[in-house]
Chain A
Amino acid sequence: MNDISQAIPFLGKRNPKAALFALVVIALVSPVVAAMFGNTWVRILNFAMLYILLSIGLNLVVGFAGLLDLGYIAFYAVGAYTWAFLASPHFGLHLPFWIVLPLGAGFAALAGIALGFPTLRLRGDYLAIVTLGFGEIVRIFMNNLTHPVNITNGPQGIDQIDGMSLFGLDLNRGLQITEGFQVKSLFLYYYVFLAFVVLAVILVKRIQVSRIGRAWAAIRDDELAAKAIGINTRNLKLLAFAMGATFGGVSGGLFGAFQGFVSPESFTLMESIAILTMIVFGGMGNLAGVIVGALALSFLPEVLRYIALPVQMAIFGKVFLDPEVLRMLLLSLAMILMMLLKPAGLVPAQSRYSKADLLGDKEIAQ
């Protein structure tokens, strides 16, 4: 958590404790603040949390191991559809989340391995194009697997998906604390998602500062040299791929439960690109950057929607750029301009793959 709080401007480096405290407070009260502007913003916040999870997962693959995956959203789809199949009236199954979520993650991981296996011997660009194709294949299947047995229900998607239930608490119902005070479902989901994000950050941090994280960074920086120090590059790339896919699968499950509805429309190439842009925007490879990027690019299009539309109406009397176009414009420009002008990203913090304090007094003061 520390290097994330340290990314907070001004406060972060000078007073790490205060920064960490500020971070926790912000994380806890932000849905309350968002709710003041209307429930829509809490929903947007919840989706932002899912995007953070996805970005953290994709960052494992792209930022750490240096493998460009352009079909990442397919793993999200696998997770979401797993939930939809196993916890909705579609097949009449209503399994609990602690079965469905790991299953979704597992299927996604398997898909990741199956996809990575043939391509990981090759140059990175091939991987990019194969993953791109994979994303499209998954979408084609989602759209068409309706006969002779209706599996995916085609473009209409699957609805009435069960919500999440934790320890007997149905997140869709909200939590009645006293007679007059209820924590709304939207808020509950936010805190659950937040917990997942925190867990993800802790786990990814641990991987980063480990022999696995270093091996990934080595492969990313120079694959030949990585082989020359005995790193089994194929297995480690597969591991990165599978781990990233697992994150996608988990996020997909959460998405299915929260949204209550899945359809192929949520898993377009545009979404894969959006997540990639979030990483690039914030700063590939460093966690704080990735989180900032995901937050910024989740909220910016929404803010634009509320500003740009009225402005256009006022000036031209008609809307030239609808919100979806604005979002695409923003994302594509962000991607190009960041690469050209600030390739290290908005938060160009250095990623570390070792712990300073492990040397103790061995290191001479410099």
Chain B
Amino acid sequence: MITLLEARAVSKRFGGLKALTEVSLTINKGEVYGLIGPNGAGKTTFFNVLTGAYTPEEGEFVFNGSELPLGKPDRIVNRGIARTFQNIRLFREMTALENVMAGHHIRTKTGLLGVLLQTRHTREEEKLTTERAYELLKYVGIEKHARTLSRNLSYGDQRRLEIARALATEPRLLALDEPAAGMNATETVQLRNLIETIRGDGTTVLLIEHDVKLVMGLCDRVAVLDFGKKIAEDVPAEVQRNPAVIEAYLGGAHHAA
């Protein structure tokens, strides 16, 4: 097992509220790693801290052998972590193809001068970006909508497009924030297959999900957060038997009822 990402005692506070308390976890190369927990457990906060949307007060991330810059989304993407959003965030005035092309931004180099002069390098890079974007649309299965404005796509296709856009940044770790939210059964199965394919092609996946069934069926290992603390980290079968996890979920259900 080669470690890809290691979170070391990461803490994040909002005012007086401790959203994350010394969360440490390890994601191995090539696995699908699930992060679950009741509502408000800190899953999305962990996600935002990892991808640089928030800066943690304490702790650090070691990614692929070196420390991650904290709170610098663009540099984190550059290091190879890409994300999607719980409430889909696409570029609405761009087509599906262009959304994915935008995702390739960080892997291209053309500067202003190159663009203005349309040098050969610029044109080649543009062609490459276009082709790659199309390949990625095909990969997630929505290439026939390449020229559709992203806001006109169906919900399920928007989810796939967001994944394609994230893949365009050529990540080592793909972080998906509740990708199955709002999907029907068929779409969920397709999503599951897509994630399997992505893993098969060598990209590590971090998955936050509410759908416990999906997580348990798909993930190699799972961590459980409750009130901002990690209460378990193991293979799915073990986690399901863990009394603290059962308590957290039943307790949560009890409060909700």
Contacts and interface: CB of A to CB of B under 8 A. Distances in A.
User: Do any CB atoms of chain A lie under 8 A from CB atoms of chain B in the complex?
Assistant: yes
Interface of A: 203, 206-207, 209-212, 214-215, 217-218, 220-222, 224-233, 239, 243, 285, 350-356, 358-359, 362-364, 366
Interface stretch (B9-17, B124-132, B210-218, B244-252): B124-132
Contacts of A222: 89-92
B116 A207 contact: yes
B46 interface: no
Contacts of A239: 112
Interface stretch (B31-39, B72-80, B178-186, B227-235): B72-80
Given A227-B74, A353-B94, A364-B144, A215 B112 contact: no
A228 B77 contact: yes
Contact of B95 (A203, A206, A354): A354
A212 B133 CA distance: 16
B97 interface: yes
Nearest to A228: B83
A215 B115 CA distance: 13
Contact of B126 (A226, A355, A363): A355
29 contacts: A206-B115, A210-B122, A211-B102, A211-B108, A211-B110, A211-B126, A211-B129, A221-B93, A224-B53, A224-B89, A227-B73, A227-B74, A228-B53, A228-B83, A228-B85, A229-B82, A229-B105, A230-B74, A230-B77, A230-B105, A230-B169, A231-B74, A233-B74, A243-B112, A285-B93, A351-B93, A353-B102, A362-B131, A363-B134
Contacts of A206: 115-116, 118
B112 A212 contact: yes
Contact of B97 (A203, A354, A366): A354
Size category of the B interface is 35 or more
A359 B103 contact: no
A211 B103 CA distance: 10
B130 A355 contact: yes
A214 B98 contact: yes
Nearest to B93: A221
A366 B131 contact: no
Contacts of A366: 144
A210 B110 CA distance: 9
B74 A232 contact: yes
Contacts of B110: 210-212
Which 6 A-B residue pairings sit nearest by Cβ, starting from the closest? A230-B77, A230-B106, A221-B91, A225-B89, A227-B73, A358-B130
